[in-house]
Structure 1
Amino acid sequence: MVSKQTKGVNVTVVTLYEGFFQRGNSMQFAFSYEITIENQSDSTIQIHSRYWEIYDSLNTKEIVEGLGVVGEQPFILPQEKYTYSSGCVLTSTSGAMQGYYNVIRTDNQQMISIEIPFFKLIAPFILN
């Protein structure tokens, strides 16, 4: 588990290795992650968009951008949390992700960026 706080919003990430499968002639490695966004500020926020950098240990980098998270643009009240799960597939047994959310403070309509902490994706069998 990793956490990072930015401008009164805490983002916590928990990862899980889900297994592997073959696609064509290559192996694919699946990972899931659960993210909790905790609004510790005094203003309601709404998640507007996300930006991800996904790194594969084979030196590839994928950028993912889009509105909201998992098809939603949730409002998070002060002292409340929002949790969602998602995942990614890598072509190697390890990688990492990092990024940010663009959120809107509803009290003044200010857009702010909230960092998603850097986290590793590692298949447990490579740690031996």
Structure 2
Amino acid sequence: MYRATTAGIEVSVEAFFLPDESDLEEGRFVWAYQVTIVNNSPEPVRLLSRYWHITDELGRVQEVRGEGVVGEKPVIEPGDSFQYTSGCPLSTPSGIMVGRYTMEKESGDQFEVDIPAFSLDIPGKRTVLN
């Protein structure tokens, strides 16, 4: 589990390789990741948008921007959490994702919340550090 906290908003991520969705011979590797966002701040926040920076093991970068997450722009009350699951396909057996959410307070003020970097690795793959 990977975690980051920004302005009282805690984001944790856990990734899972999906062998049934992947085709190793065709170079298609698919992961699911589950994100939990906990509002430890004193006021409600709305998740407006997301940004992902995805790097495969060859250093190729893909950037993804969009409104909300999984079709929602949830309001997270103080002490509450929001959880969702999404996926990421790659053409290599490993990679890294990192990103940020744009959140909005009731006052209309917007701020960025870090999504921690997390690795996407197929089980049993030998890890090589550069």
Query: Which TM class, normalised by the smaller chain length?
Result: over 0.9
Query: TM-score, length-normalised on structure 2?
Result: 0.92
Q: How far 1:26 sits from its partner (Å)?
A: 3.4
Name structure 1 gaps, 5 residues minimum.
none
Q: How many residues align?
A: 125
Query: Hey, which of these two has a bigger chunk of strand by percent?
Result: 1
1:102 and 1:112 in contact (8 A); partners too? yes
Distance 1:3 1:90 in 2: 23
C-alpha distance in structure 2 between counterparts of 1:97 and 1:88, whole Å: 9
Percent of residue pairs identical: 34
Structure 1 segments of 4 or more deviating over 3 A?
Answer: none
Residue 120, structure 1, aligned to residue 122, structure 2: no
State yes or no: 1:98 paired with 2:98. Answer: yes
CA contact (8 A) 1:94 1:121 kept: yes
- Report the Cα distance in structure 2 between the residues aligned to 1:66 and 1:44, rounded to whole angstroms: 21
Q: What is the root-mean-square deviation of aligned Cα atoms in Å? A: 1.3
Per-residue deviation, 1:105: 0.6
Distance in 1 between the 2:58 and 2:26 partners? 13
Normalized against structure 1, the TM-score is what? 0.94
Structure 2: which 5+ runs fail to align? none
